[in-house]
């Protein structure tokens, strides 16, 4: 933990508050007209929004949304991308050509634009955001997994397994995926950050979470209308979003360093 620094504590707090908010079932939609657009005060540290709803409660609710969306999207993208990429790299030939072409087509299109188009076609809602981001997200992992597979598929242990007549499925699951998991895990941490941003972006455009449910992106969108009179509506979710994304990226960086045996070994020697 110490190795990862403060960023991991921010992430632990993010996940813990998301879960905690759900356990105590905070009221993120309770309206109090007399509190409309009230700024932060001793009674309410984060103030109230344009319908008199507690910004703190909505932040917790939005935190749960971003947590669930990012973890679900990354789980789906990593699983699908790794399997497809490994199969493609290991089998080669026609299968590889077709998969690489499909990956190229996906990569030729800006990811967020494709997600916006998909979310637009499927309609708004958290589930559709998850589907749209997963459709876009698997490609990066597939490419990485394929490249890693190509670099290790001629290693002796794989050739030995093939010579012993091990089935291809077993080779992929036992001898390839465990060896390529390190870079994929590192990539996944960066993926979490981009999904959080993408979800906020889609919600900002009105394609994500639907009112009255909260999401950081939709909170920022709603807040922009009151930038002059109640800047806390944009600043607070903006700073929280930035902190979480920054922490995820920093944690990803540290994870990469930590998992790189050479760097870790050299680092230890230096110490």
Partner 1 sequence: MRTLFVLSILIAVSACSHPESTSIRFGLANAPISLDPRFATDATSSRINRLLYQRLVDFDDRLRPVPSMATMVRLSDTHYRFHLKKSGRLFDNGSRLTARDVMATYQYVMDRKNASPHRGSLASIKRMEVISDDEIDFFLSRTDSLFPGYLTIGILPKEVIDNNISLDRQSLGSGPFRFVDWPGSGNLVIERRSDKQRVEFIPVKDATVRVLKLLRGEIDLLQNDLPVELVSYLKKKNKFRISGRPGSNFTYLGLNMREPLLQDTNVRKAIAYAIDRKTIIKYLLGSYTRVANAILTPGHWAGYKGGTPYSYKPGTARSLLERAGYNKENPLILEYKTSSDPLRIRIATIIQKQLKEVGIEVRLRSFDWATVYGDIKEGRFQLYSLSWVGIKNPDIFRYVFHSQSIPPRGANRGAYNSLVVDRLIEEADQAENDRQSSILYQEIQKIVLDELPYIPLWYEGQVLITAKSIEDYRLMPDGNYDGLLDVRKQKP
Residues that bind partner 1 (CB under 8 A): 31, 33-34, 36-37, 50-51, 206, 211-212, 222, 224-230
d(CA 60, CA 115): 25
Place of tokens 């291809």: 168
Question: Which lies closer to partner 1 via its Cβ, residue 44 or residue 124?
Answer: 124
Question: Which lies closer to partner 1 via its Cβ, residue 32 or residue 266?
Answer: 32
Closest CA to 216 of 226, 230, 202, 227: 202
Closest CA to 77 of 143, 140, 144, 150: 140
All residues at 6 or more sequence positions from 263 whose CB lies less than 8 Å from its CB, including other chains:
257
Question: Which lies closer to partner 1 via its Cβ, residue 1 or residue 121?
Answer: 121
| Minimum CB–partner distance for residue 114 and partner 1 (Å) | 23
- In DSSP notation, 207-227 reads SSSPTTS--HHHHHHHHHTTT
| Minimum CB–partner distance for residue 33 and partner 1 (Å) | 5
Question: Which lies closer to partner 1 via its Cβ, residue 19 or residue 51?
Answer: 51
| Minimum CB–partner distance for residue 208 and partner 1 (Å) | 15
Tokens standing for residue 78: 């990593």
All residues at 6 or more sequence positions from 239 whose CB lies less than 8 Å from its CB, including other chains:
none
Residue 129: count of CB within 10 angstroms of its CB: 29
Question: Which lies closer to partner 1 via its Cβ, residue 148 or residue 215?
Answer: 215
| Minimum CB–partner distance for residue 28 and partner 1 (Å) | 13
| Minimum CB–partner distance for residue 225 and partner 1 (Å) | 6
Question: Which lies closer to partner 1 via its Cβ, residue 202 or residue 230?
Answer: 230
Closest CA to 192 of 106, 79, 107, 73: 73
| Minimum CB–partner distance for residue 206 and partner 1 (Å) | 8
3-state DSSP: the chain helix, strand, coil percent, rounded to 5? Answer: 75, 0, 25
| Minimum CB–partner distance for residue 198 and partner 1 (Å) | 22
Tokens standing for residue 157: 């242990």
Closest CA to 146 of 106, 114, 103, 108: 103
Question: Which lies closer to partner 1 via its Cβ, residue 163 or residue 228?
Answer: 228
């Amino acid at each position: 933990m110490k190795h990862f620094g403060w960023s991991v504590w921010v992430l632990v707090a993010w996940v813990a508050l998301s879960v905690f908010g759900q356990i105590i079932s905070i009221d993120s939609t309770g309206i109090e007209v007399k509190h409309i657009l009230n700024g932060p005060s001793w009674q309410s540290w984060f103030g109230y929004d344009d319908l008199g709803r507690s910004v703190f409660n909505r932040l917790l609710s939005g935190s749960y949304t971003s947590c669930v969306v990012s973890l679900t999207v990354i789980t789906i993208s990593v699983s699908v991308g790794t399997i497809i990429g490994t199969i493609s790299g290991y089998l080669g030939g026609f299968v590889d050509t077709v998969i690489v072409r499909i990956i190229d087509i996906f990569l030729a299109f800006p990811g967020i634009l494709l997600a916006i188009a998909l979310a637009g076609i499927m309609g708004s809602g958290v589930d559709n955001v998850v589907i749209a981001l997963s459709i876009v997200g698997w490609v990066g992992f597939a490419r990485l997994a394929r490249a890693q597979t190509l670099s290790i598929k001629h290693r002796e242990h794989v050739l030995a397994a093939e010579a012993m007549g091990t089935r291809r499925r077993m080779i992929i699951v036992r001898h390839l995926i465990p060896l390529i998991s390190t870079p994929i895990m590192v990539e996944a941490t960066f993926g979490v950050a981009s999904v959080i941003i993408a979800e906020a972006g889609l919600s900002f455009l009105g394609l994500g979470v639907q009112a009255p449910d909260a999401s950081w992106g939709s909170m920022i969108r709603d807040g922009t209308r009151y930038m002059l009179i109640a800047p806390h509506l944009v600043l607070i979710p903006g700073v929280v979003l930035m902190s979480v994304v920054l922490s995820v990226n920093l944690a990803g960086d540290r994870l990469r360093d930590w998992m790189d045996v050479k760097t870790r070994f050299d680092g230890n020697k230096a110490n």
